[in-house]
Structure 1
Amino acid sequence: MQAQNTTPPAHDAARAGVEKRRGLLFILSSPSGAGKSTLSRRLLADDEALGFSISVTTRKPRPGEEDGVHYHFRERAEFDRMVGAGELLEHAEVFGNCYGTPRGPVEAKIDEGRDVLFDVDWQGGQQLRNSALGDAVVSVFILPPSIAELNRRLRARGSDSDEVIAGRMAKSRDEISHWAEYDYVLVNDDLDRCEAEIRAILAAERLRRARRPGLTGFVQGLDREFREGLE
């Protein structure tokens, strides 16, 4: 005989209210070669509540890239208009091309209780923390186990010249110098363990009291039950 659910419908509704929450702006930053991109792909692969922010860029599409899938490709004049209108949460110019994060889609997702992953450098992270959605930001910085290992990983890619690698290593020093600006700092000496630590951070941050507005109503309901039971 199947057990019946004896929980009153009102309790079920209250419980559903507790589950509702505001989404996160989840930032991952690291020097090139520390594993940020690999970790981002792993997180996005099996977490339905986590999505990736699609950036706006002024650079031309590369072979195989689609507008609205890989980037939102825009002319410089339109990009500048978006900046002036406050439509971008963060933006930067890199090697002559501009990149930015549209505010509207991100705001809609976090209002729906979904989380948005940002793979950005320290400057992008700083702009997001100082944006109108800064209270939703949770930031994680990924450190390499050593500089020698960082250099080895960059060379193991086999896609960059010595000059490019030297440039990336020089930039890494500046990137690492901003580690203390982040909420959490992890050392990626084991990819599986680092991924598990990031997932633990996500789980804990999703349960923060301040992100769960339905808790107030739920506790008020418990208080009513106390009063009604004692009357």
Structure 2
Amino acid sequence: MAQIPETHDDTLHRRGLMFILSSPSGAGKTTISRKLLAHDERMGMSVSVTTRQPRPGEIDGKDYIFKTQEQFDQMVEDGHFMEWAHVFGHSYGTPKSQIKAGLKEGRDFLFDIDWQGTQQLYQKSETDVVRVFLLPPSLDELRRRLTARGTDSAEVIAGRMARAQAEISHWDGYDYVVVNDDIDTCFDKVVQILAAERLSRARQTGLIGFVRELMRPEV
């Protein structure tokens, strides 16, 4: 009889994906991103270029690639970004280097970007992109979370709340929407989304050869 190749989920070769997590400030995307990176060794963070100053503990080239506005503008002009946007007075962008090659090798990249960057990535690489938007359970809870940080003035928080509502209005530009009323439950849902997308028929490039082997006439 024909030999059936031994396999289990995700052993077939597949194309990598760009897994986007977006949310208003304070809705949990940074926490979920960190948990996902710690949980899944196959997921790597897409390191953005930014013009803002490093925060305490941030490492250039690991957390962000820090550039001056002049350097950033030159990178835009030279076409080095897959997407870029101007947010809260600073510029952020995703460099093309290594992303495209990594996708072919089956590597996954996590993107912590806003709706503008998401829209640009989707327009350029639709089949490689998975878009997840996290919502707060309420505006009151979002305000409480921002206040609890203790890092921003009342004026800054008011600005973030106004921007949050503007960002929430773009929820329908995402493939999945998850309400983050409990961080562990929210994380479990995000993990389930990632697992399902990795098993997408279109993304599993090794399926054709595998199925052909299964369909070989018995000897």
**Partner Cα distance (1:35, 1:125) in 2:** 17
RMSD (CA atoms): 2.2
Match for residue 100 of structure 2 among 107, 115, 118: 107
Structure with more of its chain in helix, by fraction: 1
SS at match of 2:131: strand
Long gaps (5+) in structure 1: 1-6
Identity rate, percent = 58
Provide the TM-score with structure 2 as the length reference.
0.91
1:179 corresponds to which residue? Answer: 171
SS at match of 1:145: coil
Matched, 1:160 2:152: yes
Counterpart residue type for residue 177 of structure 2: V
**Kept after mapping to 2: 8 A contact 1:34/1:144:** yes
**Partner Cα distance (1:192, 1:106) in 2:** 29
The structure-2 alpha-carbon separation of the partners of 1:16 and 1:41, relative to structure 1 and needing over 3 Å to count, comes to: closer
| Cα shift readout 1:122-142 (whole Å, capped 9, x = no counterpart) | 1111111112x2320001111
Match for residue 11 of structure 1 among 5, 20, 23: 5
**Partner Cα distance (1:105, 1:66) in 2:** 19
SS at match of 1:48: coil
2:204 corresponds to which residue? Answer: 212
Deviates more, 1:68-77 or 1:99-108: 68-77
Matched, 1:188 2:180: yes
Deviates more, 1:155-164 or 1:199-208: 155-164
Q: Which has the larger radius of gyration?
A: 1
Counterpart residue type for residue 170 of structure 2: H
Counterpart residue type for residue 86 of structure 1: G
Matched, 1:39 2:8: no
1:28 corresponds to which residue? Answer: 21
| Cα shift readout 1:154-205 (whole Å, capped 9, x = no counterpart) | 1111111110110000001100000011000011111111100000000000
**Partner Cα distance (1:59, 1:116) in 2:** 23
Provide the TM-score with structure 1 as the length reference.
0.86
